[in-house]
Amino acid sequence: MAETKLQLVERHIRAFPDFPKKGILFRDICPILKDAAALTAVIDLFEEHVRANHQQVDLIVGLDARGFLFGPLLAQRLGVGFVLVRKKGKLPGATVSVSYELEYGKAEAEIQEDAVTPGQKVLLIDDLLATGGTLYAACELMKKQQAEILGCLVVIELKELNGTDKLKPLEVFSLVRY
């Protein structure tokens, strides 16, 4: 059954050559979101993985912006809360932030100061793992908050960019790898 769900997910990922610039093959998840069965399959597969591998999860932490699409659905299924990691300047109130490197410059990610309490067990979620910079920054935020990071979940992993190396020793669970 899991293989059938995975095949459904794979069929709903589109490839766009030379987007956003020449030489990049963009993997588009929009067809997954448009199809109720494909979206359900993604959340089912994530839920099955979490229930089989993590006895206790307190929070799902979603990365701006596509982690916001999958994270709340998974959190609801698991009966846990959801926390946002946003680009700097997007959250009200006191925040905690980290800077990180992108292929084309620097960026900052932040969470609300009271979003995660020390010792909470968290799983981070995003749509795509490429070089690992954004997920690494989110993990650094969780460390600042003294959370226990259980691992990372992504729909797509671009293996040739070695993003998992940047996240070691954390486990990264990817549904689809290219």
Q: Which residues are catalytic?
A: 66, 103
Q: Report yes or no: 151 and 54 within 8 Å, Cβ to Cβ.
A: yes
Per residue, the 3-state secondary structure of the chain, as one string, reads CHHHHHHHHHHCCEEEECCCCCCCEEEECHHHHHCHHHHHHHHHHHHHHHHHHCCCCCEEEEECCCHHHHHHHHHHHHCCEEEEEEECCCCCCCEEEEEEEECCEEEEEEEECCCCCCCCEEEEEEEEECCCHHHHHHHHHHHHCCCEEEEEEEEEECHHHCHHHHHCCCCEEEEEEC
CA distance 41 to 47: 10
Strands 148-157 and 172-177, bridge-based pairing:
parallel
